[in-house]
Amino acid sequence: MMSTLLPFAKHQQSPFCDARPEEHEIDLLVIHNISLPAGKFGTDYVDDLFMGTIDCDAHPSFSDLNGLTVSAHCFIRRDGSVTQYVPFNQRAWHAGVSQFDGRIRCNDFSIGIELEGTDLHPYTDEQYETLVKVTQFVQALYPKITKNRIVGHCDIAPGRKTDPGASFDWAHYFTLLDNAEDQV
């Protein structure tokens, strides 16, 4: 079995993860966005949030984050660099109350990738390129994650979540993914 750690990522082990239920096969990839404070890029606050070390007094908008225990498998910054917080075979706490294809608790069977961004800021070419590389790595580990099983957080938590938002160019991402597959 391949390693469940990305060879091209920085690695930091988040405390906010656990073992997946054995009866669940990993077959879903969920794309999110995050920036802390909202719309500010290049800070260390996302790392701090996923590592459980965020200073909730550092910004007025952080008061809602007090006691929050969340993580993602990976976070892709605007420059395309990626940090992996949770090995793919473990359950990251990214989806919250969620449902896909008649199944609830998507954290049990999904991989969560966060992009540094907002619903309204266009993502960078570097982010799309890295997302494609991460997707290919994940699909090699979990072949049931096909294009129809790659979704936004908005798709598994409609009415509660809107990310990755209208600024995420799904057609561009899938074209890049198709072209990358053709070159393999």
Query: Which are the catalytic amino acids?
Result: 114
| CA 10 to mean position of chain CA atoms | 15
d(CA 36, CA 20): 28
Enter the DSSP assignment of 108. Answer: G
Given a contact cutoff of 8 angstroms between Cβ atoms, the answer to whether 21 and 90 are in contact is no
Locate the DSSP E strands across 2-107.
Answer: 10-11, 17-19, 28-34, 74-76, 82-84, 90-92, 99-100, 103-104
Rounded distance, CA 104 to CA 52, Å? Answer: 26
Within the chain, where are the H helices?
Answer: 45-51, 125-141, 153-156, 170-182
Q: Kindly state the tokens that stand for 124.
A: 């960078």
Q: Which residue has the tokens 């984050």?
A: 65
